[in-house]
Chain A
Amino acid sequence: MSILESVRLAFRALAANKLRAALTMLGIIIGVGAVIALMSVGEGVSLYITTQFQGIGTNLLFVFPGTLDQGGMPGMSTATAELTNGDAEALRDPIRAPDVAAVSPQVLCSAVVATGSRNTAAQVIGVTSGFAEVRNWFPEMGEFIDQEDLNSRARVAVLGRTVVEDLFPDNPYPLEQTVKINGVPFRVIGVMEEKGGSEFGDVDNRVLVPLTTAQTRLFPSRSRSGEYLVSLIMVKAVSEDRMEAASEQIATILRERHGIAFADEDDFSIVSQSDILNVFGQITSVLTIFLGAIAGISLLVGGIGIMNIMLVSVTERTREIGLRKAVGARRRDILWQFLIEAMTLSLVGGIVGIGVGVLGAEVISVLIEDFRAVVSPQAVLLATTFSAAVGLFFGIYPARRASLLNPIDALRYE
């Protein structure tokens, strides 16, 4: 019997019990749909993170105080090690660090930012004038912090879009207005362009102030030797392929300045953008696998449903099997008949499930702002293959049982 004929036979047998076939398929539909929808969400998360990072520029290095735990998050330093203004200055040495193009030391802290009537919690960052260029982020209106502001420790601030919206709902460009950061009044000199979400939370919910002002007036903290501390130093390498060299030059300078002996470990960490991406990539791929596995379980349950219904079907059709054998069906004819029936159930269910999954991914994309679930061809292929495999695996036992029936007993079966 040809495959085509077997498939036609399978469709007819399933059509004879439409409700039962539909309910059995439902298990596979839900399983495949869940696999595709959830894996799409995982893919979407990972794509989301990647695109957020790409806006920063690819030739950035982040220098954090302390060592990072293996696979830990950047910025969560373990040690009490410190980075200072002096460290940042030292990295500007064009002879010892020729591959460093720009250096931007920063002080990060959360603070309450207030006007007379409103207040909001925002991240306040003390920056130098090089920040805008290093981060590729510029004022939409007004000025950025310049060297004079730094020298004079001026109480000036550049606001992110979210902060403006929170504090000045009626005025999109509140230049020359006064905001109080932790009670200290600052003059608004600029509004940054909108960036959208990013790797460290909402970029637009930020207030930029001169580094020196932050270190002296807002968050004064000094090292044991009396130097002002910075939270991190962002370094822009001259080009993407000089990242390694720049990283080594930074390490050499900082090890020397921190007096670290030859065999000892660094008390700082240099992380490139791709390092951070890798960490997030690991997290999202674990997430994707985890979601896929959960969905896979429902596919497995669907497969058990197929096996169950196929066993019932074999019992119900014992006489038919007996007759087919009597008129010349071989074991493998019967085996294929029932196997193809099981696989038809699972494959048709799988195809419908792909549609349901894609639809589910769309719905999630619509429901969650700024997020797009990505239906990858791999997920579709995986789900289809898996559903066919489920049909094959759970179909084999009932089909084998059918094929081994003794025709005499089968014909006599009531």
Chain B
Amino acid sequence: MASSVIELQDITKVYQMGQVKVHALRGVSLEVERGEMLAVMGPSGSGKSTLMNIIGCLDQPSSGTYLLEGKDVGRLNDDQLAAIRNRKIGFVFQTFNLLARTSAFENVMLPLIYAGVGRAERRERARRALEVVGLVDRMEHAPTELSGGEQQRVAIARALVNDPAIILADEPTGNLDSKSGAEVMAVLQRLNRERGLTVVLVTHDPTIARHTQRIVHLHDGRITRNEMVAEPLLAAGGEGV
């Protein structure tokens, strides 16, 4: 119990789309252990985005309980959710979502600004996070001056700069070529292995999914299969960075 980072119990989510009620999630229960790396897979419309938004505290379930590090986050208001996202969750998006015309360094500092961290400490922590992803020498570059793989590594640095409980990666390799994709996966695997970071990956790519220890298959808003990966693939190129 104490080691469960995420504990979802019978989560449902119903959207009202005009006259129609859409059942995006129909009772999902899921536990994620601290230090685990798992993938959520499913075809589009299976509810994996909704599940991702709920785990990331961007959205709230219609029913069921969600314990994040043992705390019920199901009935928090907007500002409290913002604080949870700030301190507990690191997002990595398919499209990177870095601020344009803003250096990598400052992009990484962004969560710390909203956490109210002082300027000197902010700089120090952002620097360390960039060290972890191997981009210290490029930290003054704007996103447009970085390759896709580098941009995604900046985004990972941003996700881990505030020492979150989990990193939520939504198709992190979806916009990358296979070499950059492998680099990004290698960084995530290394963070999981060396720092014990909990990583939840959403993907539709079975190969990417096999880089994790567990694959959760989602279909029509229900978990259909919970598959342990016997021998996770090891992403190449990660050790060099």
The total of chain B residues at the interface (CB under 8 A) is: 25
Q: Note all chain B residues with C-beta closer than 8 A to A323.
A: 97, 99
Per-residue CB proximity of B118-133 to A under 8 Å, as 1/0? 0000000000000000
Closest to B114 in A: A328
Question: A328 touching B111 by the CB < 8 A rule?
Answer: yes
B82 interface hit (Cβ, 8 Å): yes
Partner of A407, one of B58, B79, B110, B162: B58
Question: B78 touching A327 by the CB < 8 A rule?
Answer: no
Partner of B97, one of A16, A319, A332: A319
B113 interface hit (Cβ, 8 Å): yes
Question: B59 touching A408 by the CB < 8 A rule?
Answer: yes
**B161: min CB distance to chain A, Å:** 9
Question: B91 touching A326 by the CB < 8 A rule?
Answer: yes
B71 interface hit (Cβ, 8 Å): no
A1 interface hit (Cβ, 8 Å): yes
Question: B53 touching A1 by the CB < 8 A rule?
Answer: no
CB contact list, A380-414 vs B, under 8 A = 407-408, 411
Question: A330 touching B82 by the CB < 8 A rule?
Answer: yes
Partner of B58, one of A12, A324, A326: A326
Question: A327 touching B83 by the CB < 8 A rule?
Answer: no
Question: A411 touching B97 by the CB < 8 A rule?
Answer: yes
**A47: min CB distance to chain B, Å:** 50
A161 interface hit (Cβ, 8 Å): no
B101 interface hit (Cβ, 8 Å): yes
Closest to B98 in A: A323
- Cα A323 to Cα B59 in complex, Å, equals 14
**B17: min CB distance to chain A, Å:** 13
CB contact list, B37-85 vs A, under 8 A = 53, 56, 58-59, 78-79, 82-83, 85
- Cα A325 to Cα B115 in complex, Å, equals 12
Question: B110 touching A324 by the CB < 8 A rule?
Answer: yes
Q: Note all chain A residues with C-beta closer than 8 A to B79.
A: 330-332
B214 interface hit (Cβ, 8 Å): no
Given A319-B97, A411-B97, is A327 in contact with B158 using a C-beta cutoff of 8 Å?
Answer: yes
Given A333-B114, A408-B53, A408-B58, is A328 in contact with B97 using a C-beta cutoff of 8 Å?
Answer: no
Partner of A326, one of B56, B87, B102, B162: B56
- Cα A328 to Cα B114 in complex, Å, equals 6
Per-residue CB proximity of A306-345 to B under 8 Å, as 1/0? 0000000000000110111111111111000000000000
Given A326-B91, A330-B83, is A1 in contact with B114 using a C-beta cutoff of 8 Å?
Answer: yes
Q: Note all chain A residues with C-beta closer than 8 A to B180.
A: none
- Cα A408 to Cα B79 in complex, Å, equals 15
Q: Note all chain A residues with C-beta closer than 8 A to B82.
A: 325, 328-331
Q: Note all chain A residues with C-beta closer than 8 A to B99.
A: 320, 323
**B202: min CB distance to chain A, Å:** 14
B93 interface hit (Cβ, 8 Å): yes
**A195: min CB distance to chain B, Å:** 66
B151 interface hit (Cβ, 8 Å): no
Q: Note all chain B residues with C-beta closer than 8 A to A5.
A: 113
Question: B110 touching A331 by the CB < 8 A rule?
Answer: no
CB contact list, B82-108 vs A, under 8 A = 82-83, 85-87, 91, 93, 97, 99, 101-102
Question: A327 touching B91 by the CB < 8 A rule?
Answer: yes
- Cα A379 to Cα B7 in complex, Å, equals 63
Count A/B pairs, Cβ under 8 Å.
57
Q: Note all chain B residues with C-beta closer than 8 A to A408.
A: 53, 58-59
Question: B114 touching A329 by the CB < 8 A rule?
Answer: yes
Closest to B56 in A: A326
**A1: min CB distance to chain B, Å:** 6
Q: Note all chain B residues with C-beta closer than 8 A to A12.
A: 101-102
- Cα A333 to Cα B58 in complex, Å, equals 17
Q: Note all chain B residues with C-beta closer than 8 A to A411.
A: 58, 93, 97
- Cα A325 to Cα B93 in complex, Å, equals 14
Partner of A331, one of B78, B85, B101, B115: B78
- Cα A348 to Cα B7 in complex, Å, equals 51
- Cα A16 to Cα B101 in complex, Å, equals 8
- Cα A16 to Cα B56 in complex, Å, equals 31
Q: Note all chain A residues with C-beta closer than 8 A to B101.
A: 12, 16
Q: Note all chain A residues with C-beta closer than 8 A to B59.
A: 408
CB contact list, A35-81 vs B, under 8 A = none
Per-residue CB proximity of A139-160 to B under 8 Å, as 1/0? 0000000000000000000000
- Cα A12 to Cα B111 in complex, Å, equals 18
- Cα A94 to Cα B53 in complex, Å, equals 100
Question: A327 touching B114 by the CB < 8 A rule?
Answer: yes
Closest to A328 in B: B86
**A303: min CB distance to chain B, Å:** 27
Question: B93 touching A330 by the CB < 8 A rule?
Answer: no
Q: Note all chain B residues with C-beta closer than 8 A to A326.
A: 56, 58, 85, 91, 97
Q: Note all chain A residues with C-beta closer than 8 A to B53.
A: 408
- Cα A408 to Cα B158 in complex, Å, equals 19
- Cα A330 to Cα B111 in complex, Å, equals 11
Given A323-B99, A333-B114, is A328 in contact with B85 using a C-beta cutoff of 8 Å?
Answer: yes
Question: A328 touching B78 by the CB < 8 A rule?
Answer: no
Q: Note all chain B residues with C-beta closer than 8 A to A16.
A: 101
- Cα A331 to Cα B93 in complex, Å, equals 22
- Cα A408 to Cα B97 in complex, Å, equals 13
- Cα A142 to Cα B82 in complex, Å, equals 92
- Cα A326 to Cα B88 in complex, Å, equals 11
Q: List 10 A-B contacts (CB under 8 A).
A: A12-B101, A320-B99, A323-B97, A328-B85, A328-B115, A329-B114, A330-B83, A332-B79, A407-B58, A411-B97
Q: Which 4 A-B pairs have the closest CB atoms?
A: A328-B86, A328-B114, A327-B111, A330-B82
Starting from the known contacts A323-B97, A330-B114, A333-B114, 19 additional A-B residue pairs (CB-CB under 8 Å) come to A1-B114, A1-B116, A320-B99, A324-B110, A326-B56, A326-B85, A327-B85, A327-B91, A327-B114, A327-B158, A328-B83, A329-B82, A330-B78, A330-B83, A331-B78, A332-B79, A408-B53, A408-B59, A411-B93
